[in-house]
A and B are shown apart, each in its own frame.
Chain A
């Protein structure tokens, strides 16, 4: 099923903005409302938009199911590795060990309202990123699987 040219062009135009906004929500998860789950869902919405506007075969050329599966598994692996990394630092599982004495994301912030700094929060940005690409991959794979049965009817 193919929509009109107007819908297709609008979907094409909005797709990159969806991805960028989702990535913004994921990356700023420790500063602003939102986080990995919400940002990943926003990014997957871009795929849904393309799938609604275009034929299934048009979309699979741009979004590969295999790559999305890799995204999903890699997201969970990042989460697990970040969780286990606390053990190597001599802290418990899932402990936020780089918030105080790591190399990255360690800027200390004052208590109370402040301007916010991306380079804070220790392990949280990493975990947010892992969950973000996992949700992106998972929801996209579900969408592609469920809509793969829709085929355009051939005209006789």
Chain B
């Protein structure tokens, strides 16, 4: 029986539905893969705001502005504006969350959105043997339950998006 591992089980396991697990197991069976490691899953706009707040506090505004594209920069501007007004951590995160929702969560992170509607999953390429990767990729590409699929080397991980029934 194929085995799905989680790099951060406490954070991620609950974000992958039984439906998505079934899709992954089917793909693993078809490709002859025994184990995969999930490194990241979907997150809500509130989670995304929390992550961005933590990184802004850790690295500062200019560091994060260099990192993000135009949409992420708008969330950083919201943080900056609320911070300068002396708002509390809770108020700032809430404001950032509202801004993320207004812009569209997926413009700020491909993993942000509603996990109940769309499961977003990153799989560590290192968890899939080099000899079976092409086979795995061809099965995922043919899989109608997967709506979006990014592969290495264009992306650092296998990124799958699975709409929920």
Do chains A and B stick together as partners? no
Chain A residues near B (Cβ < 8 Å)? none
Q: Give B contacts to A, CB under 8 Å.
A: none
